[in-house]
């Protein structure tokens, strides 16, 4: 996360403003638009899902009390940190959405994202035509920035960002290990 943040914070002031956030989104859009036609179509979304972040295709499921691992992502677009073991024990938060607090189920990119969007590229297709143009992608970036800037400061700080589920699991394991070492 720190690497992504430093990359996006182009002026090095320790803050990501909307302009920097949008510039990162535009850069990612250009990386996904492999045929350079100004649109991310179904083939490019498929390329993204299969080659950029293949873990987006399957649900991330770890049975309560079991250990599991996930593959790392290859691009740092918000929250794309590498995968780590999920750890043991009952999760502190039920990411499955079923409210039973049991198994953790996080589909798509959710384990690595700052915001729980299983398919963040496809989610930008608000008119549901199977194509995402730069305006769609930047509008999605604006919505995401607004959600992350919940205090309305006009900027994001690394410490102020929510933890991804993968980061939280690593923190939980570290805390448990530290507690066990006492």
Mean per-residue pLDDT pooled into runs of 10, the chain (182 residues): 94 98 97 97 90 69 40 38 35 39 54 83 91 96 96 96 89 89 75
Burial class for 47, CB neighbours closer than 10 Å (0-12, 13-18, 19+): middle
E strand or H helix that includes residue 135: helix 134-148
Beta-bridge partner residues of 16 = 156
Q: Is the pTM of this model over 0.85?
A: no
| CA 154 remoteness from chain centre | 20
User: In angstroms, rounded to a whole number, what is the distance separating the alpha carbons of residues 107 and 61?
Assistant: 8
Candidates 107, 147, 140; CA nearest to 123 is: 140
The token duo for 141 is 């970036």
pLDDT number for residue 154: 97
Spatial contact of 40 and 28, defined as CB atoms under 8 Å apart: no
To 10 degrees, what angle do helices 18-32 and 134-148 make? 140
Candidates 112, 3, 104; CA nearest to 63 is: 104
pLDDT number for residue 41: 95
pLDDT number for residue 119: 84
CB within 8 Å of 13: residues ≥ 6 apart = none
pLDDT number for residue 99: 40
pLDDT number for residue 58: 60
């Amino acid at each position: 996360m720190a690497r992504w943040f430093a990359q996006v914070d182009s002026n090095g002031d320790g803050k990501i403003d909307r302009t920097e956030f949008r510039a990162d989104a535009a850069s990612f859009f250009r990386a996904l638009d492999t045929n350079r036609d100004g649109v991310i179509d179904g083939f490019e979304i498929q390329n993204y899902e299969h080659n950029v972040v293949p873990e987006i295709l399957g649900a991330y499921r770890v049975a309560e009390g079991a250990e599991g691992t996930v593959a790392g992502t290859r691009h740092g677009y918000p929250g794309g940190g590498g995968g780590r073991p999920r750890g043991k024990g009952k999760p502190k938060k039920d990411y499955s959405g079923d409210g039973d607090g049991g198994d953790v189920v996080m589909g798509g990119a959710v384990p690595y994202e700052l915001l729980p969007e299983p398919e963040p590229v496809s989610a930008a297709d608000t008119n549901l035509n199977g194509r995402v143009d730069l305006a769609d992608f930047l509008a999605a970036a604006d919505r995401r920035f607004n959600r992350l800037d919940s205090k309305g400061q006009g900027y994001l700080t690394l410490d102020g960002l929510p933890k991804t589920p993968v980061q939280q699991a690593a923190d939980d394991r570290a805390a448990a290990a530290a507690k066990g070492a006492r």
